[in-house]
């Protein structure tokens, strides 16, 4: 065991003295040391219950003969950080989380890990760390929030942001806005739709790193505590069998995750995180393969914001495994892959049943014949850009219109609320990419304002930044190369006609090559003055099509 190198023998007596300082007994030191990486804090709603999850995990580890030792990981609440400079510090934490977890584990010699994340960058950051460290690891998340209810209808955080747009447009009054404010987020947990946090938590099951139910059991259910205890017990089995993350997160598992992503209708942010996780696993990730998988994978789920169902509904329908069961029947998965149960995916799917064919559609009744995400390419994004196709109104799948160009999210929001965006427009927000932002801000405020004002079926948005999983409409992000790297998006002007064809994976700026070259000489690239961590991040981060990874 790894811990033997720092615990056993006379030469490690100083180390043992420090363990005694913790109140640790000789018996505890003789057992496998299991790191419990807990992201508990008091500012993120998805993390305020993680102390209880951690205690349950520790009980599970101890019951199975291990010694649990907890240490923290950070996270940012994207909802609270939204719409201001704080959002620059969201995506960048993914690498801080991976790096700091690596440092803690390597320094202290753990034999196994239980990761306890829940929110947007926290889940992929810890998956990256797990792959990098490659010691036996199980994930157990904090679970999704229950949906709120306003006027008898289920609601979530995206409803709240859209309510702001509706209030601005005079469609609801202040009293109605306040009702949304107080009711849409009724419990702790990750926000209740298929947003980024829940997308990634669901994909822990598909990747084989989380037990059945990890993505969907609501945060406030007692079953979540039971799951945490089982995760603590299961990591001990992985330690005994020496089953490691890179044994589980193989190229086949990554491909399974893309497939399930398409069926579930996950957040576009998964197209940043899966490449980054694959990179840590040493697995190539080809963005072009996403469309190939999408072409043969039906979209089986329409959870909020794409539809009226929520994570609690998916859980009652059988959860992620019920979706995998439908995909298995279509021969779209490699079910021979190993999982953290110690069994193959095929074995895990035995006896699984789809309990609600409205929440998880049968393939013959799918919401769409193709997957929930599409990668578009063209002169405006030669290296690709991403759209959540499942959340786009049918009439916006093909769209052509004049550009309205903004150099930042703030400029765009002011224009939207000022009534300067009209039907047919293609809103372009640039200099918000990984390096140009820096930090690639998630922009739910402009997309939800447009939706709340009733323009989501008439207006498209394009950015080198990214959009929230709570975004709906023709919102196209991750434009690569980004503006600060000299991407064509830097040279778009107001009034330029942009053509979008999502079914044919195409995006085009209808300006001649000669005109673009002329503009390159006339329009200098703009770089923002930043300091501290953001300055270091901007200098090292890759483009979005590579997963916004830190270049080594």
Residues 6+ apart with CB under 8 A from 504: none
Check 270, 468, 480, 543 and give the catalytic one.
Answer: 468
Phi, psi of 503 (to 5 degrees): -60, -30
How high is the pLDDT of residue 262?
Answer: 97
Q: How many C-beta atoms lie closer than 10 Å to residue 374's C-beta? A: 26
Token couple for 125: 């950051």
The dihedral sign for the CA sequence 205, 208, 209, 211: positive
Which pLDDT belongs to residue 445? Answer: 83
**DSSP-derived secondary structure for 204-247:** HHHHTSB-TTTTTS-TTSHHHHHHHHHHHHHHHHHHHHT--HHH
Tell me if residue 375 falls in helix, strand or coil: strand
Which residues of the chain are modeled with pLDDT < 70? 552
Cα separation, 196 vs 133, whole angstroms: 24
Let me know: does 24 contact 67? Beta carbons within 8 Å.
yes
What is the distance between the alpha carbons of residues 39 and 386, in angstroms, rounded to a whole number? 29
Alpha carbon dihedral 479, 485, 488, 489, in 10-degree steps, equals 50
Distance CA 417, CA 106 (A): 50
- As to burial, measured by CB atoms within 10 angstroms (0-12 exposed, 13-18 middle, 19+ buried), residue 322 is buried
Per-residue model confidence (pLDDT) at position 301: 97
Is 468 an annotated catalytic residue? yes
Distance CA 367, CA 353 (A): 19
Helices (H), 87-188: 91-108, 122-133, 157-168, 174-183
In the block, tokens 């930090």 appear at 439
pLDDT at 6: 85
Secondary structure of residue 497 in the 3-state scheme: strand
- Residue at token pair 């039971």: 226
Spatial CA neighbour of 358 closest among 291, 308, 394: 308
Q: From CA 90, how far away is CA 493, in angstroms rounded?
A: 29
Distance CA 178, CA 180 (A): 5
- pLDDT of 469 reads 79
Q: Are strands 381-387 and 374-378 parallel, antiparallel or unpaired?
A: antiparallel
- Comparing C-alpha atoms, which of 325, 395, 399 is closest to residue 355? 325
pLDDT at residue 552 in the model? 52
Closest CA to 41 of 54, 22, 60, 56: 54
């Amino acid at each position: 065991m790894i811990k033997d190198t720092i615990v056993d023998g006379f030469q490690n007596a100083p180390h043992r003295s420090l363990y005694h300082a913790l109140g640790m007994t000789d018996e505890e030191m003789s057992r496998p040391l299991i790191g419990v990486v807990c992201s508990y804090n008091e500012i993120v709603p998805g993390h305020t219950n993680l102390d209880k999850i951690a205690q349950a995990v520790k009980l599970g580890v101890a019951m199975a003969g291990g010694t649990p030792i907890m240490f923290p990981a950070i996270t940012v609440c994207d909802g609270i950080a939204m719409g201001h400079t704080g959002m620059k510090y969201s995506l960048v934490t993914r690498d801080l989380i991976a790096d700091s977890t690596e440092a803690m584990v390597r320094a202290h010699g753990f034999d196994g890990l239980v990761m306890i994340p829940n929110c947007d960058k926290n889940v992929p950051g810890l998956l990256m760390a797990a792959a990098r460290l490659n010691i036996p690891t199980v994930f157990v998340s904090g679970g999704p929030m229950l949906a709120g209810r306003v006027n008898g209808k289920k609601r979530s955080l995206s409803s709240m942001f859209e309510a702001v747009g509706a209030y601005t447009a005079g469609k609801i009054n202040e009293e109605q806005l306040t009702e949304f404010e107080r009711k849409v987020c009724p419990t702790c947990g990750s926000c209740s739709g298929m947003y980024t946090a829940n997308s990634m938590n669901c994909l822990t099951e598909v990747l084989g790193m989380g037990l059945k139910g990890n993505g969907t059991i609501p945060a406030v259910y007692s079953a979540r505590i039971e799951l945490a205890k089982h995760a603590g017990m299961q990591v001990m089995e992985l330690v005994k069998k020496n089953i490691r993350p890179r044994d589980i997160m193989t190229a086949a598992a990554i491909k399974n995750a893309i497939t399930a992503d398409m069926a579930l209708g996950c957040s576009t942010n998964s197209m940043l995180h899966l490449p980054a996780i694959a990179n840590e696993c040493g697995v190539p990730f080809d963005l072009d393969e996403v469309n190939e998988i999408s072409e043969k994978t039906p979209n089986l789920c329409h959870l909020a914001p794409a539809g009226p169902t929520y994570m609690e509904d998916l859980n009652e329908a059988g959860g992620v495994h019920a979706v995998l069961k439908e995909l298995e029947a279509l021969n779209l998965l490699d079910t021979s892959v190993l999982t953290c149960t110690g069994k193959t995916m095929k074995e895990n799917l035995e006896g699984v049943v789809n309990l609600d064919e409205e929440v998880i559609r049968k393939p013959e009744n799918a919401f769409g014949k193709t997957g929930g995400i599409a990668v578009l390419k063209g002169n405006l994004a030669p290296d690709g850009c991403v759209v959540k196709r499942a959340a786009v109104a049918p009439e916006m799948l093909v769209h052509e219109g004049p550009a309205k160009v903004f150099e930042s999210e703030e400029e765009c929001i002011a224009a939207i609320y000022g009534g300067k965006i009209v039907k047919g427009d293609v809103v372009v927000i640039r200099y918000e990419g990984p390096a140009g932002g820096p930090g690639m801000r998630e922009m739910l405020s402009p997309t939800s304002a447009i939706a709340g004002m009733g323009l989501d079926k008439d207006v498209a948005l394009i950015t080198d930044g990214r959009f929230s999983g709570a975004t709906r409409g023709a919102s196209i992000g991750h434009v690569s190369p980004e503006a600060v790297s000299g991407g064509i998006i830097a040279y778009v002007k107001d009034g330029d006609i942009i053509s979008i064809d999502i079914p044919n994976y195409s995006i085009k700026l209808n300006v001649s090559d000669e005109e673009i070259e002329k503009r390159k000489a006339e329009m200098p690239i703009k770089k923002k003055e930043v300091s501290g961590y953001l300055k270091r991040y901007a200098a090292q981060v890759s483009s979005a099509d590579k997963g916004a990874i830190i270049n080594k």
